[in-house]
Structure 1
Amino acid sequence: MKILITGSNGLLGQKLVKLILDRGEDELIATARGANRLPYAQDDYQFDVMDITNREQVREVVARHRPEVVIHTAAMTNVDQCELEKEACWDQNVNAVKYLIEACADNNAFLLHLSTDFIFDGENGPYDEEAVPNPVSYYGESKLAAEKLLENSTIDYAIARTVLVYGIAHDMSRSNIILWVKKSLEEGKEIKVVDDQLRSPTLAEDLAMGCYLIAKKKASGIFNICGKDLLNPYEMAVKTAQFFNLDMRTMQRADASSFSQTAKRPPKTGLLIEKARTVLGYEPHSFDEGIAIVADQIKN
């Protein structure tokens, strides 16, 4: 199968490229807006520059490679930045999906789009695939708008919704709750961690595997692809501190109202993964297992 990935320099993009190359079953085209930052020899895959907000470039690159599947991981995901830079957010999260839909329609390609738990208001989580969205931030609105574009299109598509993705980028360019807590407590910094928001933290490798399973089956529709645990960030921080045997005396629990954030966050999301388990055979790691995997990657 020929698979094209958008956002290959990002955390999920990196994990997908590694997974597909390790499997060795598929022809891979990695694309990103900037230069290729992947640490793999380009004998095993092709790389192309593709700015997802450039309609003509998207159509040209997809037409030239004619992939069977496009996995769209590129997006503007900083929730506060989306609130402040709405035009850029809409361009990257909505218009880009429109261009990819057009390109996939022209080339009869299956499109897998990454979405988020932030399409929900967080009043009744965790949510299944049939739950009614009601975003409380502009980021959530943009991701829901992209989902609606797909639902109203004529192409074959899937939507993978995920939650709070964590993992290690090969160049250590991305932080996450595990790295932040570990570094802060090792340096003796005082930190406050939210205890009144619930999430299903998702190991990047698990999300990559879920996407791969959807792509290989060309399984259409909406799938929740996330971790199996429902935890608040304070619980995640405690688990991290305990794993690394760190002194927790400088760590305080706090409610969301004590933080000044530009965008509103849904209080209790989390996603239910029974459909992904049944249809795809998806089985993610627990958060405790995820910490151990990340710790191993830090060492290496």
Structure 2
Amino acid sequence: MRILIIGASGQLGLELSAVLKGEIIKVYNTKEVQGGYKLDLTNYSAVEDFIIKKRPDVIINTASMTDVDKCEVEREKAFKVNAEAVKHIVRASRVIEAYLIHISTDYVFDGERGLYNEGDLPNPINYYGLSKLLGETYALSYDDSLVVRTSGVFRHKGYPVYVYKTLKEGKEVSAFKGYYSPISARKLAEAISELIQYRKTRILNVAGERISRVDLAMKIKDKFNLVGSIKEVDHVEGWIAKRPFDSSLDISKAKKVLSIDFYSLDENLRYMVV
């Protein structure tokens, strides 16, 4: 099986490269990856041409502009990468009849309720969430596609890694009061590897268990015997975009589909790269 990973230099892309079996074609947009191809995702004709020439059986689009505040300021770029590029990936996928897995986010929801399931109505409160929702819409216009919604992916960066490193240095962690469903890039990659076999379509939530950032910070502090302190805050200094208070995802459907433990916090924390 020939699998194309778009965004191969990101956290999920790196883990997919390690986990997936078969002929792996790696595309990166910024940081170089070994044995990969550099491709500007906003050069849409080049993207379509590349996909059609390589003719992968499966395409996994992990590429995204994920800096929430940067998306709020650089909206045109966020739209091009998170939405418009997906339209052209879909166009090429349709031509070669490839199975497309598109990675999306819990930030398509407003965070008023939490534990959102696959059928809940999105209502993003920042431009990152809106651009990702538009990308979902393009992906779902293709019958042979699966949108994987996830939350708080971490590996060598992300909130858990920030907490670990800050507390280890004896400093204070600012913990936003809200809730989410963090998952390690490794466990998400393993889940996607299994999902390829089933060729599921539409939307599936694949994320960790619901937890507050405060409780997560406390868990990391206790688990690794760290000395720093934790401060609960309503807003992190420097934030530009609004954040949903509780963007946690209902993962009950994925638990029935997948055979692996992709969700437990202890299992996910094993794969922090610190």
**Equivalence map 1:217-236=2 (5 Å):** 217-227=198-208, 229-236=209-216
Alignment of 1:145-160 (within 5 A): 145-151=134-140, 153-160=141-148
Partner of 2:230: 251
What TM-score does the superposition give when structure 2 sets the normalisation length?
0.94
Which residues of 2 match residues 1-300 of structure 1 at below 5 A?
Answer: 1-20=1-20, 24=21, 26-34=22-30, 36-38=32-34, 42=35, 47-151=36-140, 153-168=141-156, 175-195=157-177, 197-227=178-208, 229-248=209-228, 250-256=229-235, 259-294=237-272, 297-298=273-274
- SS in structure 1 opposite 2:232? strand
Alpha-carbon displacement from aligned partner over 1:182-237 (angstroms, at most 9, x marks no partner): 22223232332122x0111111111112222222222111000101x211111111
- Aligned residue type for 1:246: L
- In structure 1, list runs of 5 or more residues that go unmatched: 169-174
Q: CA separation in 1, counterparts of 2:109 and 2:237?
A: 21
Counterpart position of 1:171: none
**Deviation, structure 1 residue 150:** 2.4
Preserved contact between residue 207 and residue 249 of structure 2 (Cα < 8 Å) = yes
Identity %: 35
**Per the alignment, in what secondary structure is the counterpart of residue 147 of structure 2?**
strand
- In structure 2, distance between residues paired with 1:10 and 1:293: 15
Tell me, in whole angstroms, the C-alpha distance in 2 between the residues paired with 1:283 and 1:88.
Answer: 36
In the alignment, structure 2 segments of 5+ residues that lack a partner are none
TM-superposed CA distance for 1:28, in Å, is 1.1
> Following the alignment from structure 1 to structure 2, what is the Cα–Cα distance between the partners of residues 276 and 165?
17
State the AA in 1 paired with 2:226.
L
Q: 1:37 to 1:27 in 2, by over 3 A?
A: closer
Native 8 Å contact 2:262 2:268 kept in 1? no
Q: How many residues align?
A: 274
Give the secondary-structure state (helix, strand or coil) at the position aligned to 2:211. coil
Return the letter of the residue paired with 1:244. F
- Which moves more between the two structures, 70-79 or 140-149? 140-149
CA displacement at 1:167 relative to structure 2: 1.4
Report the 3-state secondary structure (helix = DSSP H, G, I; strand = E; otherwise coil) of the residue aligned with 1:293.
coil
**Aligned partner letter, 2:26:** A
What is the rounded CA distance, in whole Å, between the counterparts of 1:286 and 1:154 in structure 2? 32
Please tell me the residue identity of whatever aligns with 1:253. E
Letter in 2 for 1:177: Y
Residue identity opposite 1:157 in structure 2? S
Paired AA for residue 27 in structure 2:
T
CA contact (8 A) 1:243 1:291 kept: no
Q: Which segment drifts farther, 277-286 or 260-269?
A: 277-286
Opposite residue 240 of structure 1, the aligned amino acid is I
**2-structure distance, mates of 1:84, 1:15:** 30
1:278 alignment partner AA: K
Q: Classify the secondary structure of the residue corresponding to 2:165.
A: helix
Distance 1:287 1:180 in 2: 16
* 1:218 maps to amino acid: R
